[in-house]
Chains A and B, each alone.
Chain A
Amino acid sequence: MLFVIGIKRILKDIRVAWAIGEKDIRIYYAKPASLMFGILFPFSMFLSFVIGRNIPIDQAIPVLVAQSLFFASSSIGPVTIPLEKRIRTFDRFLSAPVSLSTVLLGKTIAGFIYGAAVSIIPIIVGIIFFQSIITDIIALTAGIVLSALGFAAMGIMFASIPGQGPGQVMMPLNFVRIPLLFISGVFIAVKDLPVWGQLLSMFSPLTHSIELVRSGLGGQNFFGPLLNVAVLTFYLVVFLLVGIRFHIINQKKE
C-alpha cells in the first residue's frame, strides 16, 4: 500500500515538474536574457575561437556543441528563478502542494531541453554542410543528455544566490563558466596541455562534455567515454543536491 502511495506521489511530482518546465519553455526561452546568455554568448565565443585559425571542422563542431550545451543549459535557471522571485510568481510554487525539489526539477527540465535543443543545431549544420558523421550515437546521446542535465542543475544551483534579477546571478556564474573554457580543451586540446593542465581539466565537467561529443562525431577521446560518463554523472548529482540544499537554506531565511 505504501509502495503504491509512493509511486503515485512520484508520478504526481513528475507531472508537476513537467508542467513547470513546459511553462518555462513557453515564457522564458525567447526572453532576451536567455537568448543573450544561452545562445549569443557561446556562439560569439566560438567565432572568436575559430576565425583566423585553421581549425578542422571535425574539431570545431564538438567544441561548438559542448559550448552551446554548457551555456544554454546553465542559463535557464539563472534567468527564470530570479525573475520569478522578483515578480513573486515563485511564491506560487512555494504555496503549492509540491516540494521545492519538484519545483527545481521542473526548472532543470527547462534548462535541459533548452541546452539539448540548441546543441543539436550545430550537429545538424555539421552533417548537412560539412560532412560530419555520427560514429557513436550512444556516446553523443550520453554526452548531450548528461551535459544538458548537469549544466542545467549547475544553473539552478547558482540561481540560489539571492538577487533582484538574472544579472546578479549571471555575474558569479560567468566567473566560473569562462575560466572553465581555458582548462577544458576548448582552446587547446587536452592532449596538448601540460600534465598539470591535463589533471586540472579532468575535474572540469566541460572537458568530459566535449570529449563525449567528440567521440560521437568520430574524434579522439583523451580520458575515455567511461570516465567521461562517470564524471558528468557525479557532477549532475552534486549540482542537483547542492542546488536543492542552497535553495532550502534560502527558503528558511524568507
Chain B
Amino acid sequence: MEKAIKAVNLTKAYGKLLAVDHIDFEVKKGEIFGFLGPNGAGKTTTTRMLTGISKPTEGTAEIMGYDIQKHAVEAKELMGIVPDISNVYTDLSAWNNLIFTGRLYDVPKVERENRAKELLQLFALFDRRKESVQGFSRGMKRRLCIAMALMNKSSILFLDEPTSGLDVQSVLTIRNLVRKLNEDGLTIFLTTHNMEEANQMCDRVAIINKGKIAAIDTPEKLKKTIKKLQFIEVSFVGATNNLTTELEKLQGVTEVAKHGDKYRINTENPPKVLSAIWEYASANNLEIHTVNTLGPSLEDVFVKLTGIMPEMRRKGSELGMRAGS
C-alpha cells in the first residue's frame, strides 16, 4: 500500500534539548493513524515538522511522496491542518473564514463558494454562516476549524486533539464526521491524549515518549504485548468457601484476587487457564456461573510504555467510552 506520510530520521533540537529524537514511521493511505504521548513528548513538534510549519534539524518527511522541505508547495496542497486550538478568525463570519481559506489555497471563486456551502452544511453551520465567529461555542469553532482544513479538498487531515475540552455531543459529532471523512478516503493523522478515542478510531497508533517512538502497531496488537495484564474473571454457583488458594495452584495462573463473588485470575495464557478452570470445576462439582476474559486497555499499554499516568486518565477514558458507546 502507498504511503501517505513517511518520516525518516526526523529530529528537532532546541539547543541541547532533543524534542524529537530521530524518529521513523509511515502512515498508509486511507488509514486513521493515532499519535499518542504524554505532554512534552514531542507530538506537536512532530506534527509541526510534518506540516511544514517547523523545519526539522535532521531527517526528512514526505507527504504523498513530496518532501515537505524540498517540495513544500506540492505537499501542502495535499494536506489540511486542525491544530490543538481552534485558530479561526473570530472577527470574520464562518462564511468568510472558509472563503479566505479557499483564497489562501488559490481555489477558484465558484469552486470555493460551492465547497464552502457544502462544508457548512456538512458541519451543521450553514444557518449561522453570516454570524461573526466570536459568538460561536467551542464545539462550533472546532467544527469550523475542521471545515477550513477541508477547503482545499486535502488528501491528508492532521487533527491535533480534535475533541479536547468539548462537550459529549460535540465529541460525538466530530468523531462521526472524522469517521465519515475517512470512509470517503481521507487519511487521518490524529494526535490525541484520549486513549479510548485512539482505541475506537485508529487503525494504527504510535506512542511517542521523550521524543522517541516507543511503539507502533494496531491497538489490539499493542494490547497483546502486555501479556501480564490479561485476566480471567470467573464466578461459581454456590461456592461458599474462598477458592483463592485452590485457583492459584492451577497451571499458568500468576495471581488470584477475590472481587466480590468473582475471582480475578491474572495469567499470561488465558486459553490454558480457562481449560484448567473447567477441569477444576468439574472435578469439584462446581458450576461456573460467569466467565470473562479481560485484556489490557490501550491506556495500560500507554502507561507501561511511557511510565506515566496520563493526566485526567480516568476522566478522559470515561468521556471516550460514553461518547463512543
Footprint of B on A, CB under 8 Å? 12, 15-16, 19-20, 23, 26-27, 87-89, 91-99, 251-252, 254
Q: Mark contacts of B45-62 with chain A using CB atoms, 8 A cut-off: 1 yes-contact digit, 0 otherwise.
A: 000100111110000000
The residue in A19, A26, A252 that gathers the most chain B C-beta atoms within 10 A of its C-beta is A19
What would be 14 A-B contacts, judged by CB atoms less than 8 Å apart?
A12-B106, A19-B100, A19-B103, A23-B92, A27-B92, A89-B88, A91-B53, A95-B51, A96-B76, A96-B105, A97-B74, A97-B76, A98-B73, A99-B73
B81 CB contacts on chain A under 8 angstroms: 91, 95
B100 CB contacts on chain A under 8 angstroms: 19, 23
Q: Which residue of B lies closest to A90 (CB)?
A: B87
Q: Mark contacts of B78-96 with chain A using CB atoms, 8 A cut-off: 1 yes-contact digit, 0 otherwise.
A: 0101010101110110001
Contact B103 A15, beta carbon cutoff 8 Å: yes
Residue in contact with B104 in the complex, picked from A26, A88, A98, A251, CB distance below 8 Å: A98
Q: Which residue of A lies closest to B54 (CB)?
A: A254
Shortest Cβ distance from residue B109 to the other chain A in the assembled complex, whole angstroms: 10
A12 CB contacts on chain B under 8 angstroms: 106
Shortest Cβ distance from residue A24 to the other chain B in the assembled complex, whole angstroms: 10
Shortest Cβ distance from residue B101 to the other chain A in the assembled complex, whole angstroms: 7
B79 CB contacts on chain A under 8 angstroms: 95
Shortest Cβ distance from residue A94 to the other chain B in the assembled complex, whole angstroms: 4
The residue in B52, B104, B105 that gathers the most chain A C-beta atoms within 10 A of its C-beta is B104
Q: Mark contacts of B260-293 with chain A using CB atoms, 8 A cut-off: 1 yes-contact digit, 0 otherwise.
A: 0000000000000000000000000000000000
B24 lies within 8 A of chain A by Cβ:
no
Q: Give the complex CA separation of A93 and B54 in angstroms.
A: 12
Closest 10 CB pairs of A and B: A19-B103, A97-B76, A88-B87, A97-B73, A94-B53, A97-B77, A254-B54, A27-B91, A96-B104, A95-B51
Contact A16 B103, beta carbon cutoff 8 Å: yes
A26 CB contacts on chain B under 8 angstroms: 91-92, 96
Shortest Cβ distance from residue B38 to the other chain A in the assembled complex, whole angstroms: 22
Shortest Cβ distance from residue B218 to the other chain A in the assembled complex, whole angstroms: 29
- Besides the contacts A95-B76, A95-B81, A97-B74, what 16 more A-B pairs have beta carbons closer than 8 Å? A19-B103, A20-B104, A23-B89, A26-B96, A27-B92, A87-B87, A88-B83, A88-B85, A94-B52, A95-B79, A96-B104, A96-B105, A97-B72, A97-B76, A97-B106, A254-B54
